Structure 1
Amino acid sequence: MPQRQGYHHGNLREALIAAGLELTRVGGAAALTLRDATRKVGVSPNAAYRHFADRDSLQAAVAERIQHDMAAQMRGFQPPASVQEGVPATGSARGRLRAVGLGYIGFALAEPGWFDTAFSHAGALSDADPDAPSARPLQMLTAALDALVDSGELPTGSRPGAEWPCWSAVHGFALLALGGPLQGHPEADVWAAAERTVDAAIAGLLAGS
Protein backbone atom coordinates (compact mmCIF):
# COMPACT_ATOMS: atom_id res chain seq x y z
CA MET A 1 0.00 0.00 0.00
CA PRO A 2 1.56 3.35 -0.95
CA GLN A 3 2.10 5.91 1.79
CA ARG A 4 -0.29 8.82 1.98
CA GLN A 5 1.10 12.16 0.96
CA GLY A 6 2.84 13.78 3.93
CA TYR A 7 3.91 10.52 5.57
CA HIS A 8 7.34 10.08 4.05
CA HIS A 9 10.70 9.26 5.49
CA GLY A 10 11.39 11.53 8.44
CA ASN A 11 7.97 11.90 9.99
CA LEU A 12 6.50 8.39 9.80
CA ARG A 13 7.79 7.59 13.27
CA GLU A 14 5.95 10.55 14.76
CA ALA A 15 2.82 9.69 12.79
CA LEU A 16 2.85 6.15 14.17
CA ILE A 17 3.27 7.43 17.72
CA ALA A 18 0.36 9.82 17.16
CA ALA A 19 -1.74 6.92 15.90
CA GLY A 20 -0.73 4.93 18.96
CA LEU A 21 -1.81 7.78 21.19
CA GLU A 22 -5.19 7.89 19.49
CA LEU A 23 -5.69 4.14 19.87
CA THR A 24 -4.62 3.95 23.49
CA ARG A 25 -6.55 7.01 24.60
CA VAL A 26 -9.77 5.08 24.07
CA GLY A 27 -8.74 1.47 24.54
CA GLY A 28 -5.65 1.53 26.73
CA ALA A 29 -2.52 -0.52 26.11
CA ALA A 30 -4.46 -3.53 24.79
CA ALA A 31 -5.78 -1.46 21.88
CA LEU A 32 -2.34 -0.81 20.42
CA THR A 33 -1.22 -2.95 17.49
CA LEU A 34 1.19 -2.21 14.68
CA ARG A 35 -1.45 -3.15 12.14
CA ASP A 36 -4.01 -0.71 13.50
CA ALA A 37 -1.44 2.06 13.89
CA THR A 38 -0.22 1.68 10.32
CA ARG A 39 -3.80 1.52 9.06
CA LYS A 40 -4.53 4.86 10.72
CA VAL A 41 -1.44 6.41 9.13
CA GLY A 42 -2.16 4.84 5.74
CA VAL A 43 0.96 2.75 5.25
CA SER A 44 1.61 -0.97 5.08
CA PRO A 45 2.57 -2.80 8.27
CA ASN A 46 6.00 -3.46 6.80
CA ALA A 47 6.67 0.29 6.63
CA ALA A 48 6.52 0.52 10.42
CA TYR A 49 9.51 -1.79 10.82
CA ARG A 50 11.85 0.96 9.62
CA HIS A 51 11.10 2.73 12.90
CA PHE A 52 9.80 0.10 15.30
CA ALA A 53 11.01 -3.48 15.47
CA ASP A 54 7.69 -4.72 16.80
CA ARG A 55 4.58 -3.74 18.75
CA ASP A 56 6.63 -3.75 21.93
CA SER A 57 8.91 -0.97 20.76
CA LEU A 58 6.00 1.14 19.51
CA GLN A 59 4.26 0.66 22.85
CA ALA A 60 7.39 1.85 24.69
CA ALA A 61 7.53 5.01 22.55
CA VAL A 62 3.83 5.74 23.09
CA ALA A 63 4.12 5.12 26.83
CA GLU A 64 7.11 7.43 27.05
CA ARG A 65 5.22 10.21 25.25
CA ILE A 66 2.27 9.82 27.61
CA GLN A 67 4.59 10.04 30.60
CA HIS A 68 5.97 13.32 29.25
CA ASP A 69 2.44 14.74 29.01
CA MET A 70 1.56 13.38 32.43
CA ALA A 71 4.62 15.01 33.99
CA ALA A 72 3.72 18.32 32.34
CA GLN A 73 0.27 18.18 33.95
CA MET A 74 1.80 17.32 37.31
CA ARG A 75 4.20 20.26 36.93
CA GLY A 76 1.41 22.73 36.24
CA PHE A 77 -1.24 21.30 38.54
CA GLN A 78 -3.27 23.79 40.54
CA PRO A 79 -5.51 22.58 43.40
CA PRO A 80 -9.22 23.20 42.84
CA ALA A 81 -11.02 25.93 44.75
CA SER A 82 -12.40 23.31 47.13
CA VAL A 83 -9.06 22.57 48.85
CA GLN A 84 -9.23 22.49 52.60
CA GLU A 85 -8.03 25.40 54.71
CA GLY A 86 -4.58 24.96 56.13
CA VAL A 87 -3.22 23.10 53.10
CA PRO A 88 0.22 24.52 52.24
CA ALA A 89 0.58 26.68 49.17
CA THR A 90 1.66 24.98 45.95
CA GLY A 91 4.82 27.09 45.96
CA SER A 92 6.07 25.52 49.21
CA ALA A 93 8.01 22.25 49.24
CA ARG A 94 5.14 20.39 50.89
CA GLY A 95 2.65 22.03 48.55
CA ARG A 96 4.77 21.00 45.56
CA LEU A 97 4.69 17.37 46.67
CA ARG A 98 0.93 17.60 47.17
CA ALA A 99 0.48 19.08 43.71
CA VAL A 100 2.56 16.29 42.17
CA GLY A 101 0.43 13.63 43.85
CA LEU A 102 -2.90 15.23 42.96
CA GLY A 103 -1.71 15.96 39.44
CA TYR A 104 -0.87 12.28 39.02
CA ILE A 105 -4.34 11.23 40.17
CA GLY A 106 -5.98 13.96 38.11
CA PHE A 107 -4.32 12.72 34.94
CA ALA A 108 -5.40 9.15 35.66
CA LEU A 109 -9.02 10.16 36.18
CA ALA A 110 -9.10 12.36 33.07
CA GLU A 111 -7.24 9.97 30.76
CA PRO A 112 -7.75 6.36 31.93
CA GLY A 113 -6.66 4.85 28.62
CA TRP A 114 -3.41 6.77 28.57
CA PHE A 115 -2.84 6.10 32.28
CA ASP A 116 -3.16 2.37 31.58
CA THR A 117 -0.65 2.69 28.76
CA ALA A 118 1.83 4.97 30.52
CA PHE A 119 3.22 2.27 32.79
CA SER A 120 2.54 -0.74 30.62
CA HIS A 121 6.12 -0.92 29.38
CA ALA A 122 9.26 -0.81 31.52
CA GLY A 123 11.16 0.71 28.61
CA ALA A 124 9.25 3.95 29.10
CA LEU A 125 10.88 4.50 32.51
CA SER A 126 14.13 6.43 32.62
CA ASP A 127 16.34 8.58 34.80
CA ALA A 128 15.49 11.83 33.05
CA ASP A 129 16.44 15.19 34.55
CA PRO A 130 13.53 16.20 36.84
CA ASP A 131 13.86 19.85 35.76
CA ALA A 132 13.84 19.06 32.03
CA PRO A 133 10.68 19.42 29.93
CA SER A 134 10.89 15.70 29.19
CA ALA A 135 10.75 14.61 32.85
CA ARG A 136 8.62 11.59 33.74
CA PRO A 137 6.25 11.27 36.73
CA LEU A 138 8.87 9.45 38.80
CA GLN A 139 11.37 12.27 38.28
CA MET A 140 8.72 14.84 39.24
CA LEU A 141 8.11 12.94 42.47
CA THR A 142 11.79 12.54 43.35
CA ALA A 143 12.40 16.23 42.70
CA ALA A 144 9.53 17.18 45.02
CA LEU A 145 10.88 14.92 47.75
CA ASP A 146 14.37 16.37 47.32
CA ALA A 147 12.83 19.83 47.75
CA LEU A 148 11.41 18.69 51.09
CA VAL A 149 14.93 17.78 52.18
CA ASP A 150 16.24 21.14 50.98
CA SER A 151 13.52 22.94 52.94
CA GLY A 152 14.46 21.08 56.12
CA GLU A 153 11.05 19.41 56.44
CA LEU A 154 12.37 15.94 55.62
CA PRO A 155 15.64 14.74 57.17
CA THR A 156 18.28 13.59 54.73
CA GLY A 157 18.28 10.14 56.32
CA SER A 158 14.56 9.72 55.63
CA ARG A 159 14.85 10.55 51.95
CA PRO A 160 16.19 7.26 50.43
CA GLY A 161 13.31 5.18 49.08
CA ALA A 162 10.62 7.69 50.11
CA GLU A 163 9.33 7.82 46.54
CA TRP A 164 7.98 4.28 46.66
CA PRO A 165 5.36 4.60 49.42
CA CYS A 166 4.35 7.98 48.01
CA TRP A 167 3.97 6.63 44.49
CA SER A 168 2.18 3.53 45.75
CA ALA A 169 -0.40 5.72 47.49
CA VAL A 170 -1.36 7.76 44.43
CA HIS A 171 -1.09 4.89 41.95
CA GLY A 172 -3.16 2.62 44.14
CA PHE A 173 -5.78 5.31 44.62
CA ALA A 174 -6.01 5.85 40.87
CA LEU A 175 -6.61 2.14 40.33
CA LEU A 176 -9.32 2.08 43.00
CA ALA A 177 -11.01 5.08 41.39
CA LEU A 178 -10.83 3.73 37.84
CA GLY A 179 -11.70 0.08 38.34
CA GLY A 180 -12.24 -0.55 42.03
CA PRO A 181 -14.76 0.33 44.73
CA LEU A 182 -14.52 4.07 44.05
CA GLN A 183 -15.56 3.64 40.42
CA GLY A 184 -18.85 5.38 39.70
CA HIS A 185 -18.84 7.50 42.84
CA PRO A 186 -19.63 11.23 42.45
CA GLU A 187 -16.65 13.15 41.12
CA ALA A 188 -16.59 15.47 44.14
CA ASP A 189 -16.45 12.53 46.53
CA VAL A 190 -13.64 10.87 44.57
CA TRP A 191 -11.61 14.07 44.51
CA ALA A 192 -12.12 14.65 48.23
CA ALA A 193 -10.86 11.11 48.85
CA ALA A 194 -7.88 11.80 46.58
CA GLU A 195 -6.96 14.88 48.56
CA ARG A 196 -7.26 12.96 51.82
CA THR A 197 -5.08 10.16 50.47
CA VAL A 198 -2.32 12.51 49.33
CA ASP A 199 -2.44 14.54 52.53
CA ALA A 200 -2.29 11.37 54.65
CA ALA A 201 0.68 10.07 52.65
CA ILE A 202 2.57 13.33 53.14
CA ALA A 203 1.68 13.53 56.84
CA GLY A 204 2.82 9.94 57.34
CA LEU A 205 6.06 10.61 55.51
CA LEU A 206 6.88 13.65 57.65
CA ALA A 207 5.70 12.06 60.90
CA GLY A 208 7.90 9.06 60.28
CA SER A 209 10.93 11.23 59.87
Structure 2
Amino acid sequence: MPKQGYHHGNLRQALVDAALELIEEKGPTGFTLSEAAKQAGVTPAAVYRHFEGREDLIAEAARQGFEIFADLMDYAYETGQPSSLAAFEATGRAYLAFARRYPGHYVAMFESGIPVNRTPELAEVAARAHGVLERAARTLAEQIPVERRPPPQMFSAHIWAMSHGVVELFARGSPGTRSPFPPEDLLETGIGIYLRGLGLIEKDT
Protein backbone atom coordinates (compact mmCIF):
# COMPACT_ATOMS: atom_id res chain seq x y z
CA MET A 1 0.00 0.00 0.00
CA PRO A 2 1.42 3.45 -0.88
CA LYS A 3 2.54 5.52 2.07
CA GLN A 4 0.75 8.84 2.52
CA GLY A 5 1.44 11.96 4.50
CA TYR A 6 5.22 11.86 4.85
CA HIS A 7 6.56 14.86 6.71
CA HIS A 8 7.51 17.79 4.54
CA GLY A 9 11.24 17.84 3.95
CA ASN A 10 11.63 14.15 4.67
CA LEU A 11 10.87 12.80 1.20
CA ARG A 12 14.43 11.51 0.82
CA GLN A 13 14.06 9.23 3.85
CA ALA A 14 10.55 8.21 2.81
CA LEU A 15 11.98 7.00 -0.49
CA VAL A 16 14.77 5.08 1.27
CA ASP A 17 12.21 3.41 3.56
CA ALA A 18 10.09 2.50 0.54
CA ALA A 19 13.12 1.06 -1.24
CA LEU A 20 14.01 -1.04 1.80
CA GLU A 21 10.54 -2.58 1.83
CA LEU A 22 10.74 -3.32 -1.89
CA ILE A 23 14.23 -4.79 -1.53
CA GLU A 24 12.93 -7.18 1.13
CA GLU A 25 9.99 -8.13 -1.07
CA LYS A 26 11.55 -8.23 -4.55
CA GLY A 27 15.31 -7.99 -4.18
CA PRO A 28 17.59 -5.08 -5.13
CA THR A 29 16.95 -5.40 -8.87
CA GLY A 30 13.28 -6.37 -8.69
CA PHE A 31 11.75 -2.92 -8.40
CA THR A 32 11.75 0.36 -10.28
CA LEU A 33 12.05 3.95 -9.14
CA SER A 34 8.41 4.39 -10.09
CA GLU A 35 7.47 1.63 -7.65
CA ALA A 36 9.54 3.26 -4.92
CA ALA A 37 7.82 6.58 -5.60
CA LYS A 38 4.40 4.95 -5.49
CA GLN A 39 5.30 3.20 -2.23
CA ALA A 40 6.31 6.56 -0.76
CA GLY A 41 3.15 8.22 -2.06
CA VAL A 42 4.78 10.66 -4.51
CA THR A 43 5.20 11.02 -8.26
CA PRO A 44 8.16 9.40 -10.03
CA ALA A 45 9.51 12.83 -10.93
CA ALA A 46 9.88 13.65 -7.25
CA VAL A 47 12.47 10.90 -6.84
CA TYR A 48 14.96 12.72 -9.06
CA ARG A 49 15.07 15.68 -6.69
CA HIS A 50 17.02 13.45 -4.32
CA PHE A 51 18.44 10.50 -6.27
CA GLU A 52 19.99 10.16 -9.72
CA GLY A 53 18.62 6.65 -10.17
CA ARG A 54 17.83 3.35 -8.50
CA GLU A 55 21.45 2.54 -7.74
CA ASP A 56 21.86 5.89 -6.02
CA LEU A 57 18.79 5.13 -3.89
CA ILE A 58 20.06 1.65 -2.99
CA ALA A 59 23.49 3.08 -2.16
CA GLU A 60 21.88 5.40 0.38
CA ALA A 61 20.00 2.45 1.88
CA ALA A 62 23.32 0.61 2.11
CA ARG A 63 25.00 3.61 3.74
CA GLN A 64 22.32 3.81 6.38
CA GLY A 65 22.61 0.06 6.89
CA PHE A 66 26.34 0.27 7.49
CA GLU A 67 25.71 3.06 10.02
CA ILE A 68 23.34 0.80 11.97
CA PHE A 69 25.66 -2.17 11.51
CA ALA A 70 28.74 -0.31 12.73
CA ASP A 71 26.88 0.99 15.79
CA LEU A 72 25.57 -2.50 16.58
CA MET A 73 28.99 -4.09 16.19
CA ASP A 74 30.59 -1.40 18.34
CA TYR A 75 27.94 -1.84 21.03
CA ALA A 76 28.41 -5.63 20.97
CA TYR A 77 32.16 -5.23 21.32
CA GLU A 78 31.98 -2.76 24.18
CA THR A 79 29.33 -4.68 26.14
CA GLY A 80 31.21 -7.93 25.62
CA GLN A 81 34.08 -6.64 27.78
CA PRO A 82 36.02 -7.10 29.99
CA SER A 83 37.06 -10.35 28.31
CA SER A 84 38.59 -9.77 24.87
CA LEU A 85 37.38 -13.26 23.91
CA ALA A 86 33.80 -12.53 24.94
CA ALA A 87 33.91 -9.19 23.14
CA PHE A 88 35.18 -10.83 19.97
CA GLU A 89 32.52 -13.53 20.03
CA ALA A 90 29.86 -10.88 20.63
CA THR A 91 30.74 -9.14 17.36
CA GLY A 92 30.13 -12.38 15.48
CA ARG A 93 26.70 -12.77 17.02
CA ALA A 94 25.93 -9.12 16.24
CA TYR A 95 26.45 -9.85 12.55
CA LEU A 96 23.77 -12.53 12.64
CA ALA A 97 21.42 -10.36 14.68
CA PHE A 98 21.78 -7.48 12.23
CA ALA A 99 20.99 -9.65 9.19
CA ARG A 100 17.82 -10.89 10.86
CA ARG A 101 16.58 -7.56 12.14
CA TYR A 102 17.46 -5.42 9.09
CA PRO A 103 17.06 -7.68 6.04
CA GLY A 104 16.49 -4.80 3.61
CA HIS A 105 19.61 -3.01 4.71
CA TYR A 106 21.59 -6.26 4.66
CA VAL A 107 20.64 -6.99 1.05
CA ALA A 108 21.39 -3.41 -0.01
CA MET A 109 24.82 -3.65 1.64
CA PHE A 110 25.94 -7.10 0.56
CA GLU A 111 23.74 -8.39 -2.27
CA SER A 112 22.91 -5.40 -4.44
CA GLY A 113 26.20 -5.18 -6.32
CA ILE A 114 26.68 -1.59 -5.13
CA PRO A 115 30.42 -1.10 -4.44
CA VAL A 116 31.29 0.34 -1.05
CA ASN A 117 33.44 2.97 -2.74
CA ARG A 118 30.53 4.33 -4.75
CA THR A 119 30.52 7.40 -2.51
CA PRO A 120 33.01 8.65 0.08
CA GLU A 121 30.28 8.52 2.74
CA LEU A 122 29.47 4.89 2.00
CA ALA A 123 33.15 3.91 1.96
CA GLU A 124 33.78 5.67 5.27
CA VAL A 125 30.99 4.00 7.20
CA ALA A 126 31.71 0.58 5.67
CA ALA A 127 35.30 0.93 6.81
CA ARG A 128 34.10 1.83 10.31
CA ALA A 129 32.01 -1.34 10.48
CA HIS A 130 34.92 -3.50 9.31
CA GLY A 131 37.17 -1.67 11.74
CA VAL A 132 35.22 -2.79 14.79
CA LEU A 133 35.78 -6.47 14.00
CA GLU A 134 39.40 -5.83 13.08
CA ARG A 135 39.96 -4.05 16.39
CA ALA A 136 38.41 -6.96 18.25
CA ALA A 137 40.65 -9.38 16.33
CA ARG A 138 43.77 -7.30 17.00
CA THR A 139 43.11 -7.20 20.75
CA LEU A 140 42.44 -10.92 20.94
CA ALA A 141 45.44 -11.80 18.77
CA GLU A 142 47.76 -10.14 21.27
CA GLN A 143 47.41 -13.33 23.33
CA ILE A 144 49.01 -15.36 20.52
CA PRO A 145 52.82 -15.60 20.29
CA VAL A 146 54.11 -13.22 17.63
CA GLU A 147 55.51 -16.00 15.46
CA ARG A 148 52.06 -17.64 15.24
CA ARG A 149 49.95 -14.51 15.21
CA PRO A 150 47.89 -13.94 12.05
CA PRO A 151 47.51 -10.39 10.74
CA PRO A 152 44.43 -8.75 12.30
CA GLN A 153 43.00 -8.14 8.82
CA MET A 154 43.20 -11.87 8.03
CA PHE A 155 41.88 -12.85 11.45
CA SER A 156 38.85 -10.58 11.15
CA ALA A 157 38.28 -11.53 7.50
CA HIS A 158 38.03 -15.20 8.45
CA ILE A 159 35.37 -14.48 11.07
CA TRP A 160 33.57 -12.08 8.74
CA ALA A 161 33.45 -14.75 6.03
CA MET A 162 32.21 -17.38 8.48
CA SER A 163 29.50 -15.08 9.81
CA HIS A 164 28.44 -14.09 6.31
CA GLY A 165 28.31 -17.71 5.20
CA VAL A 166 26.08 -18.75 8.09
CA VAL A 167 23.77 -15.82 7.38
CA GLU A 168 23.55 -16.51 3.65
CA LEU A 169 23.14 -20.27 3.88
CA PHE A 170 21.13 -20.80 7.03
CA ALA A 171 19.75 -17.60 8.57
CA ARG A 172 17.88 -16.07 5.64
CA GLY A 173 15.81 -19.01 4.48
CA SER A 174 17.66 -19.74 1.24
CA PRO A 175 15.95 -22.58 -0.66
CA GLY A 176 17.49 -25.99 -0.16
CA THR A 177 19.81 -24.95 2.64
CA ARG A 178 17.95 -25.94 5.77
CA SER A 179 20.20 -26.95 8.62
CA PRO A 180 19.45 -29.30 11.52
CA PHE A 181 21.21 -26.78 13.79
CA PRO A 182 20.23 -23.20 14.69
CA PRO A 183 22.37 -20.59 12.88
CA GLU A 184 23.53 -19.23 16.26
CA ASP A 185 24.91 -22.65 17.19
CA LEU A 186 26.61 -23.07 13.83
CA LEU A 187 28.31 -19.70 14.15
CA GLU A 188 29.33 -20.18 17.78
CA THR A 189 30.82 -23.63 17.21
CA GLY A 190 32.53 -22.50 14.00
CA ILE A 191 34.18 -19.57 15.75
CA GLY A 192 35.10 -21.88 18.62
CA ILE A 193 36.87 -24.32 16.30
CA TYR A 194 38.74 -21.46 14.65
CA LEU A 195 39.84 -19.97 17.97
CA ARG A 196 40.92 -23.37 19.30
CA GLY A 197 43.11 -23.75 16.24
CA LEU A 198 44.83 -20.51 17.20
CA GLY A 199 45.25 -21.66 20.80
CA LEU A 200 42.87 -19.02 22.17
CA ILE A 201 40.45 -21.56 23.64
CA GLU A 202 41.53 -24.70 25.46
CA LYS A 203 40.80 -27.90 23.57
CA ASP A 204 38.21 -30.23 25.01
CA THR A 205 39.74 -33.08 26.99
Give, in whole Å, the separation in 2 of the partners of 1:13 and 1:112: 20
Q: Quote the sequence identity (%).
A: 29
Answer yes or no: is 1:148 the counterpart of 2:147: no
1:205 and 1:180, CA in 2 relative to 1: closer, same or farther beyond 3 A?
Answer: farther
Describe the SS at the equivalent of 1:100. helix
Structure 2 partner of 1:48: 47
Aligned-partner residue type, residue 146 of structure 1:
R
Give, in whole Å, the separation in 2 of the partners of 1:200 and 1:148: 15
Normalised by the length of structure 1, the TM-score is 0.71
Answer yes or no: is 1:93 the counterpart of 2:93: no
Normalised by the length of structure 2, the TM-score is 0.72
Name structure 2 gaps, 5 residues minimum: 201-205
Aligned-partner residue type, residue 190 of structure 1:
P
Paired residues of 2:137 and 2:152 also in contact (CA < 8 A):
no
Write out per-residue CA displacement over residues 74-111 of structure 1, whole angstroms, 9 at most, x where no aligned residue. Answer: 34449xxxxxxxxxx92121211111111112322444
Answer yes or no: is 1:191 the counterpart of 2:188: no
Give, in whole Å, the separation in 2 of the partners of 1:77 and 1:59: 26
Structure 1 partner of 2:203: none
1:76 and 1:37, CA in 2 relative to 1: closer, same or farther beyond 3 A?
Answer: same
The number of equivalent residue pairs is 184
Structure 2 partner of 1:13: 12
Answer yes or no: is 1:123 the counterpart of 2:116: yes
Which range moved further: 194-203 or 55-64? 194-203
Runs of 4+ that moved beyond 6 A = none
1:191 and 1:6, CA in 2 relative to 1: closer, same or farther beyond 3 A?
Answer: closer
Give, in whole Å, the separation in 2 of the partners of 1:205 and 1:107: 27
Q: CA RMSD in A?
A: 3.1
Give, in whole Å, the separation in 1 of the partners of 2:45 and 2:132: 37
